[in-house]
């Protein structure tokens, strides 16, 4: 039986070297886990509560996918480890994302590693039971590969969903090693496989699929990175990572393929649509110990009309963004100003200007993985937090400015 680990905020914030007290009603920080290690990956807000998705080491597998249901105050109601065959003990499963397909069903995407092979896994979950009603492995069918990694799952307007990732061969006895190529697969509303497409770039160059978003007229935008050979300041040709966007039609056939970047490595992390405009987020590697966040806006042809980098000293990495009428909200991790990584929440204007940043640190490397802006403007973030030698799923709820609600202090003498 899984046990929720909820620490009083006063203890938490003492660990963050502050003596402020905070309410536990309007805002909170809560933790969930087992006797093992957990990593928070995704968050889905429902009318009656929330679904948290993560990975746990407390399993008959080496690691398995963990689904937790909470009420709207973040109190755990039930949990479910996604294990379809408990006799298999050498499986490594890692959660990617989830989406709701009907009132009582969700689909969960993950990655699996076993016996030198990697491929995707899809679970259909009945929320009333709760239980697994359908399990399927996700491998490439149009190309012989033994490595498939999936990074995003998104709903489709017509019903169903689409997933994106990358595939390659590596140490496959029957097939030569190959480069990484982007793969996208469409499913219907019953999680039935409809269409697969592998959109590689060039031979001997790797390309990766990080995120996908639906556009107009049944089009999709595949987003990620591609390795480009460029000439550096010394005149040598070197491989450099650029941000890449591919617009495909409803049959996943490319309409255009655009990439851009500087002499530095740029890695694409996420694409989203707001008011028919495409916004993308990535990372720019300035050095081994310095990374900034990239925010860019694309025109209808996939060319950037905005390219803004945001960061402090150290590594600032964004994992997810959500766009709201008031601005762009990002969560991720930062070690600027300290040795360990902290969770951050960042608000950026539509012109790419930093409005504010809030950080939340515990006793090790912490990170925020998914952000959600509620109707009242308050902010939810799911991620991971470390206490001693233990890592747990972390859920934060702040006000619209990224703050925890302070208890008024009596200053009367």
Considering only 7-11, 151-155, 217-221, 311-315, which range has the smallest mean pLDDT? Answer: 7-11
Stretch 184-202: mean pLDDT: 93
Asked if pLDDT for residue 200 goes beyond 80, the answer is: yes
More confident residue, 292 or 60: 292
* C-alpha–C-alpha distance, residues 360 and 217, integer Å: 41
pLDDT tens, position by position, 312-362: 888 999 999 999 999 999 999 998 767 788 999 999 999 999 999 999 988
pLDDT tens track for 29-73: 999 988 889 999 999 999 999 999 999 998 888 999 999 999 999
CATH topology of domain 140-310: Neuraminidase (2.120.10)
Handedness of CA 20, 23, 29, 30 (dihedral sign): positive
Token digits of residue 2: 């899984």
Q: Residue 406 has what pLDDT?
A: 55
Q: Are 304 and 269 in contact (CB under 8 A)?
A: no
pLDDT at residue 300 greater than cutoff 60: yes
Q: Is the dihedral of CA 178, 180, 162, 61 positive or negative?
A: positive
Where are the domains positioned within the chain? Answer: 33-69+78-138, 140-310
d(CA 206, CA 311): 27
Lowest mean pLDDT among 96-105, 225-234, 391-400: 225-234
The average pLDDT across 237-255 equals: 95
| Averaged pLDDT, 108-130 | 96
Q: How far apart are CA 279 and CA 231, in angstroms?
A: 29
What is the average pLDDT value for the chain, to the nearest integer?
Answer: 89
* The predicted structure's pLDDT at residue 19: 39
Among candidate residues 21, 28, 27, 24, the one with its CA nearest the CA of residue 409: 21
**How many Å apart are CA 338 and CA 336, to the nearest integer?**
6
Residue 281, both tokens? 């987020």
Q: Range with the lowest mean pLDDT among 105-109, 247-251, 360-364, 395-399? A: 360-364
């Amino acid at each position: 039986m899984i046990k929720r680990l909820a620490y009083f905020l006063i203890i938490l914030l003492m660990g963050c070297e502050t003596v402020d007290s905070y309410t536990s009603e309007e805002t909170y920080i809560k933790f969930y886990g087992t006797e093992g290690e957990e990593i928070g990956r995704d968050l889905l807000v429902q009318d009656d509560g929330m679904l948290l998705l993560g990975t746990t080491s407390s399993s008959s597998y080496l690691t398995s996918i963990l689904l937790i249901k909470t009420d709207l105050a973040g109190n755990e109601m039930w949990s479910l480890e996604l294990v379809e065959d408990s006799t298999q003990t050498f499986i490594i499963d890692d959660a990617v994302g989830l989406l709701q397909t009907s009132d009582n069903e969700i689909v969960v995407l993950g990655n699996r590693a076993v016996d030198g092979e990697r491929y995707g896994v899809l679970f259909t979950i009945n929320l009333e039971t709760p239980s697994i009603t359908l399990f399927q492995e996700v491998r490439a069918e149009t190309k012989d590969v033994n490595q498939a990694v999936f990074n995003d799952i998104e709903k489709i307007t017509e019903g169903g969903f689409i997933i994106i990732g990358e595939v390659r061969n590596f140490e496959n006895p029957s097939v030569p090693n190959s480069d990484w190529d982007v793969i996208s697969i469409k499913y219907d509303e019953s999680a039935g496989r409809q269409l697969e497409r592998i959109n590689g770039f060039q031979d001997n160059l790797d390309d990766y699929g990080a995120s996908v978003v639906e556009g107009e007229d049944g089009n999709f935008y595949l987003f990620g990175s591609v390795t480009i050979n460029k000439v550096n300041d010394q005149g040598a040709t070197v491989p450099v990572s650029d941000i890449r966007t591919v617009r495909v039609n409803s049959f996943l056939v490319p309409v255009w393929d655009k990439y851009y970047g500087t002499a530095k490595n740029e890695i694409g992390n996420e694409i989203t649509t707001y008011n028919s405009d495409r916004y993308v987020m990535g990372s720019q590697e300035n050095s081994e110990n310095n990374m900034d966040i990239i925010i860019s806006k694309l025109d209808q042809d996939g060319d950037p009309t905005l390219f803004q980098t945001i960061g402090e000293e150290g590594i600032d990495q964004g994992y997810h963004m959500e766009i709201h009428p008031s601005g762009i909200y990002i969560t991720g991790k930062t070690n600027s100003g300290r040795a360990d990584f902290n969770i951050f929440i960042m608000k950026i204007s539509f012109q790419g200007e930093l409005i504010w940043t809030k950080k939340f640190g515990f006793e090790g490397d912490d990170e925020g993985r998914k952000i959600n802006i509620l109707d009242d403007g308050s902010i939810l973030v799911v991620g991971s937090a470390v206490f001693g030698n233990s890592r747990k799923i972390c859920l934060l709820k702040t006000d619209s400015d990224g703050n925890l609600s302070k208890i008024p202090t009596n200053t009367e003498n």
